[in-house]
Structures are given as C-alpha cells and as structure tokens.
Copies of this chain bind each other. A is one copy, B any other.
Amino acid sequence: MAKRIVIVGAVALGPKAASRIKRIAPSCEVILIDRDDLISYGGCGIPYYIGGDVSDLEALYSTSAHVLRDMDYFQNVKGVKTLIRTEAIAIDRRNKKLKIRNLDDGKEKEIDYDKLVLATGATPVVPPLPGVDLPGVCTISNLHHAKAIKDMVSQGKITRAVIVGGGAIGIEMAEALTDLWGVETTLIEMMDQLLPTALGNDMALPLKKHMEKNGVRVLLGERVNKILGNSTNGVQAVETSNGEIPCELVILSVGIRPNSSMAKEAGLATGMFGGILVDKRLRTSDPNIYAGGDCVEIPHLVSGHNLPMPLGSLANRQGRVIGTNIAGGSDCFNGTVGTFCLKTFELGIARAGLTVKQAQESGFDPVHTVVVQADRAHFYPDMQLMYIKLIADRKTRRVLGIEAAGLQIDAVKSRVDAVAVLLGQGVGLDEIATLEVGYAPPFASAMDIINNAANSLDNIIAGYQIPIDVIDFLKEFKENNAQVLDVRSPVQAGPFVEKYGQQWLNIDQGELQARIAEIPRDKPLLLVCGSGPRSYEAQLIMRSQGINNDTKNIQGGIGMIQFSDPDFAP
C-alpha cells in the first residue's frame, strides 16, 4: 500500500479522497494542497449565498454538524496534512516528485509522492472581449468572488447587472440577483435557447418564460461585443449586437475549462475537451497518478464519448472511488449520463441523457414525446402539472434522454432520477412503460407520468400517434394559419374559439362520433385537448373512420402551450 499520498486540490474531490484514505488506511501519510486559503467548500452553494438563502459564507465550508472544514479540521479530525496557499507547479513522474510553490513567500520545493491525486478543478472561461478586465466584471469560481459580489450587492452598489451565458450558473445567478436584491438583471445567451447543452428548445422555452415572469430579462441569440466602462468607475454597460445595456456588474458564466496544463506538461493523456483522461478506476495514463472532478473527462454512457462533467456530486463520488483504490481496495466509476437539476424561482428542471440534437450527433435516430400530467393523483389537492420530454431511438427503442419541469421540484427530480439510473445500461422504452415507481395519491397518479410518457412515445413509434411539438405548433398556427380542432368540452374550448375564430374549431371528444360530419376533411388538422390523450384518441378515431388522415396531435396539449407561451390563452 502507498505510504505518502499527495492530493492537489482541496475543494470537493480532494478532501473526500483524503478522508477516505485516512479512514481505511490510517497509516498512510496524506497531504492535501490548495492554492486557496478557503478549502473544502460547496461551490454550488454560491448562488444561494449571494441570493441570501444562505446567510453566512462559512456555511459553505462547514460540515452538516456546523464544524468549519479548515486546515485544523483536516489535521485534527481527519489526520490529513493540509497546505493552503500552495500551488502545484510541476510533476516529475520519473522520480515521483511534485514541485510546489508557497503563494505567500514564493518559495518552491519538491515533495515525494507514492500516489498523486489531481483534483485541480476547472477555470471559468473568460471570453476575449474588450473590457473583461474592468472592475465589476467577474466570474463565479470561488468563495472570494462570491463574497465580493455579495458585498457589492448587499451594500446597494448594484442596481443593474448583466449575466453572460445561459447555463446553470448564469440562471442561478439571475435568480440570486433578482429575487432578494431586486437587481435589474439581463441574461444574455449566444445560442437561441437557455441551457443549450441540457434541454431541447421546447423545454427551454418555458424556462425562459418563467424567468421573465420573475423579472429577469432574457436575451437569446445575442452576442456580447464589448464591455464598456473605465478603471475608475468600473463597468458601465455591455454592448451587444443589438445595443448597449447599462449595468454596474457583469458576471461571465460562459463555461469552464479543465485545469490540466500541469498534467499535460507531465505527459499525461488528455482528451478533446482538454480534460485529463482516466480509466474506470480513475487512474490517469500514469498508474501512480489518479485524477477526478472538474479536471477530467469521463465517458458519457449513452453517447459513448468522453466529456467533462463538472458537478460537485460527481466529484465527491469520484473522490471516494479514488480513496478506496489508493487505500488498497477496488472501486470503479463508470461514467455519466449527465443527470442534472436546477431550480429557478419556483420552477424545477431536471434532465438526463442526450437531447434530441445530441442524440442525432451521436448517430441515433431520436424520436420524442412531451407529456403533461399532474404530479400527484389528479384529484389530490396540491397537485401541479408536470412536463416531461422522453427521447428514444426509433429502431432499437433504447431510451436516450429525459427532460422534465414542474413546480414541485422534488417530484420533478424523482421522475428524472428513476429514468437516469437506467440510462447507462441501455434501458428500453418498454421497461419505462412499466417502471415500478412508488404510487399513492399524495405522490403520483396510478399511471405515473413517466409510464405515460413511455406509452406515448411507444404510440408515436408504432405510428398510432402523429405528433407535433408545441414550438412547431405555435409557428404553424401563427405564421401559417393552421387549423386547430379542440376536442375539449365547449366550456374549456369556448374562450379559445372566441379569441381565434374559425381557426379554432371545437368538437367535444365525447360527441366526436355523433358529429363526425362536421370534421374538416380537406385540410390538415392540429388536434388539441387539455394535455394530449383525448386528442390522441380523436386522432385514432378519425383515422379509423377514414375522415382525415392528415392530423397532428399537439404534444402536451393546452398545458404545454400555456407553459410555453403564457400569452396564448385567452
């Protein structure tokens, strides 16, 4: 067993690996080093600290028992020697030495290792824009940044902010600035949707609407040209392709880049995203060097491609695996399916696997459905609508991805997690159709929304259901005057008929057989009901009776239309 283990990086993976090693192999010497003086913190908590949900910065580097995780803690409680304000600068693999530099006195020295762990994390990408160095322009990558931003905001120095980048951190920061502090916040994303690597545009649109409803200005498909201001007064505005947005704070959250330069210089293999490559035991190409967390690439278990997956949860789980392996055990980390969740204001979002676009890029033939259903029994008082998109490969029926949204955020996560844990093993659609998730009226419907999503997708693949997405529907309806047939009751459909006139025909599904002569036969029909099942049934009836074969069923029905375009309904 290794005698001295040196761990570079003490945020998530490093401390976890260090503690695990000392627990099961207490005779090992473990040295944990970090450039920062604040270590072992929950970086994911930064938006909640800035937004005021977490009042003290210390909470982010304390244990659940309120013990500060500082140098003394690691020394006294964990038996781990900790060097802070210390940078690792070079690895001498042949002699198993690590060169380090004390950031306070600049002194360098070499320390021997038997096993080395690289937990060097990642660095926020700073786009090469004029003005990125101005005071008031920052990234979110450590607790010092967090404190600086919170100080500015809480002292009332910020009335307007611009966030560049519509990924998770940008979205969380938008809520943090808007909700408690009332900062007038603009979120700018270069792509035409929020969370472009996590959601399809149909699921991203309601997210945007929800943020806008809560006061965030969201600009999509817009590029930042430069940041305006001067070194005395700091940032004053952001200039985009469409004009200037005045602000006193700019947060750059356009992505992160694995910190792998030292590894590269030492000749360790890295991947196409610049992350260190590791095997299932989390060893790098040098068997004496392990790596994990934000600085590595891991296999995506659906696409098969390596990619960085910078999440504190994965880093912690990898930390234990590395600790076990170094301490003489045997443990594996197989990869990721990209499970992810996010809360913004009242809305919960969760997803796993591939988006439709990613699935296409990975060589699959993705088919998808969007299902809207109550998250509890529909008769249960505190039920809320939930929105799920399920994606599968047409030929193999392998489930490729799931995206979900809703107001009861744990309920959203529960559906995605239950599918996520199966995605890596190539689960088929039929298994999701009978997936045995828990049921009682306060928790779910008897046919849970994920069962129904699988059934709906099965119906699409079988050709029973011909679907149209809400985004396509809105376009067809608004731009091409497409004809809608609403099969809800006249009470429900009435206001839509009144607002949209002849373009919105209503025949109650219960009367469809009797009023079959009224169904237009000469043009395509877009079918709608509350959430989709009745209009699907109407589609089948029309087809079986040869009335109109050119129908499409609006996925998620009125529920999804209103979620995507709150102004659509009368």
Contacts and interface: CB of A to CB of B under 8 A. Distances in A.
Contact of A65 (B79, B341, B534): B534
Interface in A86-103: none
Interface string A529-564: 111001001001100100000000000000000000
Contacts of A73: 510
A435 interface: yes
Given A42-B446, A510-B73, A311 B439 contact: yes
B438 A377 contact: no
Interface string A399-430: 00000000011110110111111101000001
Contacts of A544: 26-27
A417 B420 contact: no
Nearest to A58: B379
Given A446-B12, A510-B76, A540-B23, A438 B352 contact: yes
Contact of A430 (B59, B67, B331, B339): B331
A343 B442 contact: yes
Interface residues of A, number: 108
Stoichiometry (number of copies)? 2
Contact of A377 (B12, B42, B77, B332): B42
A470 interface: no
Contact of A436 (B42, B53, B337, B529): B337
B379 A439 contact: no
Nearest to A26: B544
A434 B380 contact: no
A477 B455 CA distance: 54
Given A54-B379, A73-B510, A421-B421, A343 B443 contact: yes
Contacts of A332: 430, 434
Contact of A439 (B59, B341, B529): B341
A342 interface: yes
A330 to B, nearest CB: 9
Contacts of A42: 377, 379, 441, 446
Contacts of A63: 378
Interface stretch (A105-113, A124-132, A152-160, A315-323): A315-323
A314 B444 CA distance: 13
Contacts of A348: 442-443
Contact of A26 (B16, B444, B540): B540
A78 to B, nearest CB: 8
A408 to B, nearest CB: 6
Nearest to A511: B76
Nearest to A379: B59
Given A379-B48, A422-B422, A537-B23, A438 B413 contact: yes
A255 to B, nearest CB: 18
A422 B420 contact: no
A284 interface: no
Contact of A417 (B24, B79, B314, B417): B417
Interface string A44-63: 11001000011000011011
B440 A342 contact: yes
B315 A464 contact: no
Given A320-B455, A451-B317, A65 B530 contact: yes
5 contacts: A44-B441, A77-B534, A313-B447, A339-B438, A408-B410
Interface of A: 12, 16, 23-24, 26-27, 42, 44-45, 48, 53-54, 59-60, 62-65, 67, 73, 76-79, 168, 172, 311-317, 320-321, 329, 331-334, 336-337, 339-343, 348, 350, 352, 373-375, 377-381, 408-411, 413-414, 416-422, 424, 430, 433-444, 446-448, 451, 455, 462, 464, 488-489, 492, 509-511, 513-514, 529-531, 534, 537, 540-541, 544
Closest 6 pairs (CB-CB, A-B): A414-B414, A313-B439, A410-B410, A341-B438, A64-B378, A59-B379
